[in-house]
Structure 1
Amino acid sequence: MGPRNKSGVSEFLLMEVTEDPELQPLFFILFLSIYLVTILGNLLIVLAVISDPHLHTPMYFFLYNLSLTDIGFSTTTIPKMLVNIQAQNQSITYTGCLTQIYFVLVFASLESFLLAVMAYDRYVAICHPLRYTVIMNSRLCLFLILLSPFISIVDALLHSLMVLQLTFCTNLEIPLFFCEVVQVIKLACSDTLINNILIYLATSIFGGIPVCGVIFSYTQIVSSVLRMPSAGGKYKAFSTCGSHLSVVSLFYGAGLGVYISSALTNSSRKTAVASVIYTVVPQMMNPFIYSLRNRDMKGALRKLISKIPLAFQEYVI
């Protein structure tokens, strides 16, 4: 059978999480638990930042947006995996696949930009503490928060529109648990040169700039901290950016793991597992990292959780 255009493609097939029927309930419970923990953890961070006036600072404003991004990122991939496991059907509609491609690109790019913005915030706080409030003013914070999703949305929209122009053959099996733009492009029968050039270009620019920003910020931070005379000052400076550095390491480390696994192994299942870890684990761990390593956040969460029983009693009464 020859190539089929986009109007002729009704669905794609995603990879099965497991081929063993007896393990399917276990994986369903596992991913459902991960999703609920991710949503609850990030939602608590969001509510804590909103409810506590002490957290109305640029650092927590960016953390608030990062938590919303993590909720969106997880919601883009995990619910469809749960539906497929429960239904024992790996199909995803053409429209659903394109929608998933779009939102995965949006949230992955947005998370990368937000981590770079947060690294810059820590750089200013440690290297220019006396000018922090002047530099990180509300106008700049709002500009950075609006610029990050704007670039992410435009980038994702461009990739999605380019995928719309492709025609596909009879092989519509995606070797991942979710729709990812590179894997979908590989299934196309039409010329994908422009798509591949666009991917490499966008990755170099929109991926390289945040990474370079993070590296620059932490290079300056380490250099500044090492020049501090007191050990107490060094410890305080490192503890200030410790949570963010852990989140950055987890996000980019997982991304690097996906790249290495796809380059060194021919096993599509290993690559799929690495990809799902990249889109699931950092989003679940971020709230724990910030709540366990940050004294202000722990205090805000304790206050928030202590209010929940009171609010519930008032609602019942």
Structure 2
Amino acid sequence: MSTESRPGDSIDQTETMTMREAIRAALREEMQDDENVFIMGEDVGEFGGVFSVTDGLVDEFGENRVRDTPISEAGFTGAGVGAAATGMRPVVEIMFSDFLGVASEQIINQMAKMRYMFGGKTEMPITVRTTEGGGMGAASQHSGTLHTWFAHFPGLLAVAPGTPRAAKGLLKSAVRSDDPVFFFENKMIYEQEGEVPTDPNYTVPLGQASVEREGEDVTVVATQRMVGESLDLAEEMAGQASIEVIDLQSLYPLDTDTLVESVEKTGRLVVADESPLSYGTHAEVMARVMEDGFYSLDAPPMRVGVADTHIPFSPTLEQEVIPSAEDVRSAVEKLV
């Protein structure tokens, strides 16, 4: 199961939403539920966010709770850390994940370490939303996929949803968490639609993957845009191979049990993630499966991702670099 609800709640009622709408709904519900939740970032208020995710929220909640900031990622991320340390629940938006480096001191030495350095006596309930991924012709400084950096660092949690349902549920869990959570949104799937529970208490637990399609021959573990790509491919290849598709959802904590259970059934593994291939999500998933399920593997695992390079501006070269359904197809065909 990939959903969690409080006793007595129902998640049967759903509404078709885009990824953008699901994220906005999660923010709205959490702000309605808890007056300590507020949003801050560049252009999140009057402009509604560079991708219109926060559109209209300033009209509902006012400028004190939807705060436009100067172009100073270090400054407003640090302000968010301070607010979280003193009882607020900030949701900080970094316009593009490539800009997270500007705020690295506040993230690495303050946000991630504060709870540890105070012996667990303080909390750090901050959520950092950011966009990532190529495909828009935005060149190297606006197209990186950096989520593995933050999944790796102790003291931080990281999620990267692949469906509107997961996006809403994970973001609500992130805002309610007493630990810092990085919420990575692939900018190419904001218009992707799906059925989303409307229950305001619907959440997706941090650290839980979701089996989006069951299969028997090969497991494809995917994140973000690659979830939809893999589901489309599984449908196309249904006559050739039975493909199980898992939306990883949570990068850290990682749901090893769901991954191993799937590979015990299929015997084969492909990991599809739009980040550089070396030292990343792919490697961690493969390592966990081999540590806990090695003897279930009938073939070496394969990974699909970005070559160890930056994202080029040229549309032709960009499409050559970022992973696609055809790359997943090639990996699957080598295994079955």
* TM band (smaller chain): under 0.3
Answer 1 or 2: which has greater helix percent: 1
* TM superposition score normalised by structure 1: 0.27
What is the TM-score normalised by the length of structure 2? 0.25
* Greater Cα radius of gyration, structure 1 or 2: 1
